Amino acid sequence: MVQQASRLFPTYARFPITLVRGEGSRLWDDQGKEYIDLMSGLAVANLGHVPAPVKEKLVAQLDQLWHVSNLFHIPNQEKLAKLLTDNSCADAVFFCSTGAEANEAAIKLARRYAQKVLGEDRHEIITFHQSFHGRTLATLTATGQEKVQEGFHPLPAGFSYATFNDIESVKNLINDRTCAVMIEMVQAEGGVITADPAFIQQLAELCKEKNLLLIVDEIQTGMGRTGKLFAYEHYGIEPDIFTMAKGLGSGFPIGAMLGKAKLAPAFSAGSHGSTFGGTPIAMAAAIATVEYMLSDKIADRASELGEWTLNLLNEKLGTNPLVEQIRSKGLLIGIVCKQPVAEIISEIHAAGVLVVSAGPQVIRLLPSLTISKEDLQQGLDVVCDILASKAAALVQ
């Protein structure tokens, strides 16, 4: 055994902070330092940390049953599937444990449907430059970023990349092997880039006209984050398939792939599965999460708070020479800077506020959707003050 500092594979560039406790929008580290959380564990803790209604159901389930396998009926899978389909354009659900796994299910369903219904050669999926769809071999290939693919060749065949918000670039890639287009309504990891309404409407029409499935990745944008339960609702379109994960279990791992009724027969018993998909514990966490979101109109709250935040940031950062632009959809917010932001983010953390980047020059804010206005204001003030002092230092 070689002597080494860590026994973990070095896959993460970690912040020098060890968090040990959370409550709502506050976190505490192992030194007792308190933080205002404006990143929600990367859009997972959308209801804040340890939300009471979810904890209650989760603890009750822990006392009752953890795992039985999908060889048995799990009634809460039907209950959660009903909740999700009653509140979306989808008719059927497949449960898994992560976002990448949900996108894998979407890719497999799209291929199987197309090959059964449209012809054996139909397997290619068009995705977009700067997208992010996950880290498995298929989903990192779907991801239009070379840095995610570097060193992992040969990549699975059947993916091509169009330019986001450019309908002609999609048209140019369509051929008689194309089966689907996969897209995020807001490219979150790619720098918080929102899709143009006209582009998405044209894309939906193009997919109908060419018999292509439209797959929307709602893994980061779903669960109220953008001010609607799902971001596609902003665009007046209905995807054939959409995927979710991050916020669905409030921190308990769960992913889901949802689709239209016509797609359901493309999967048959044995064609897809996942040991941990839809366990009783995951179902308890997600049912409690969705019921809380619906009963407390959390998406509406995200919309209102998002607008308030955008106004505040525009007011305070509008004349800051370091800031190029504020991009946002609900409470998915990007402060686009004219320089790399890693050092600025470290200073914000040191000042007791947790934020994250989205690419090298964007500070990303993902506050919980239940954060109090006071906490949000306090956190935003710290971010804006640090950007102001950085700008002042630049001028001198």
Ligand X SMILES: *Cc1c(COP(=O)(O)O)cnc(C)c1O
Residue set of the binding site for pyridoxal 5'-phosphate: 99-100, 132, 217-220, 275
Which contiguous run of DSSP H or E holds residue 228?
none
In angstroms, give the least distance from the CB of 65 to ligand X. 25
Give the footprint of ligand X on this chain (CB under 6 A). Answer: 98-100, 103, 132-134, 184, 188-189, 217, 219-220, 245-246
Q: Which is nearer to ligand X, 100 or 337 (CB)?
A: 100
Q: Which is nearer to ligand X, 113 or 132 (CB)?
A: 132
Q: Which is nearer to ligand X, 228 or 246 (CB)?
A: 246
As beta bridge partners, residue 22 has: 27
Most distant pair of Cα atoms in the chain: their distance: 69
In angstroms, give the least distance from the CB of 40 to ligand X. 12
In angstroms, give the least distance from the CB of 157 to ligand X. 21
Q: Which is nearer to ligand X, 130 or 160 (CB)?
A: 130
What's the chain's length in residues? 396
CB atoms within 10 A of CB 115: 15
- With H, G, I as helix, E, B as strand and everything else as coil, classify residue 33: coil
Q: How far apart are CA 329 and CA 200, in angstroms?
A: 15
As beta bridge partners, residue 257 has: 94, 243
In angstroms, give the least distance from the CB of 280 to ligand X. 20
**Strands of 353-354's sheet in order across:** 19-23, 26-29, 34-37, 353-354
156 and 108 Cβ atoms separated by less than 8 Å: no
Binding residues for N(2)-acetyl-L-ornithine: 135, 274
Q: Return the structure tokens found at 72.
A: 């048995």
Binding residues: 99-100, 132, 135, 217-220, 274-275
Residue facing ligand X at closest CB distance: 99
Q: Which is nearer to ligand X, 84 or 386 (CB)?
A: 84
In angstroms, give the least distance from the CB of 289 to ligand X. 15
